[in-house]
């Protein structure tokens, strides 16, 4: 069993309140959960309205499968948000 985790930082320049950020993050997390069946949540910087730090994790049979799942989730997030991807950190165990 292999566990893959990734933390990504998005810059959301059009967001002007925490309420607006919360709507964007909740919608994106729900879409990812429904499509890929991974765990995802906002993990840092909850009080900064233009930065969203999302963490997601998956369990797979081997390293290449976990890497593939994380790649697909990352591509989906990039395609479904207008935010700029600032940084990613990936770990596969």
Rounded Cα–Cα distance for residues 43 and 55 (Å): 6
Per-residue model confidence as pLDDT tens for the chain (93 residues): 899 999 999 999 998 999 999 999 999 999 999 999 899 999 998 888 899 999 999 999 899 999 999 999 999 998 988 889 999 999 998
Which class in CATH covers the domain with range 2-92?
Answer: alpha beta
Rounded Cα–Cα distance for residues 82 and 77 (Å): 9
**Residue-range domain boundaries for the chain:** 2-92
Handedness of CA 42, 48, 49, 53 (dihedral sign): negative
């Amino acid at each position: 069993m292999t566990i893959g985790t990734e933390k990504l930082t998005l810059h959301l320049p059009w967001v002007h309140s925490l309420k607006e950020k919360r709507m964007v993050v909740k919608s994106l997390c729900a879409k990812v959960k429904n499509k890929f069946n991974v765990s995802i949540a906002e993990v840092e910087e909850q009080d900064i309205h233009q930065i969203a730090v999302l963490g997601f994790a998956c369990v797979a049979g081997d390293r290449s499968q976990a890497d593939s799942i994380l790649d697909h989730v990352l591509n989906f997030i990039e395609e479904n948000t207008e935010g700029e991807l600032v940084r990613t950190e990936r770990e596969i165990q």
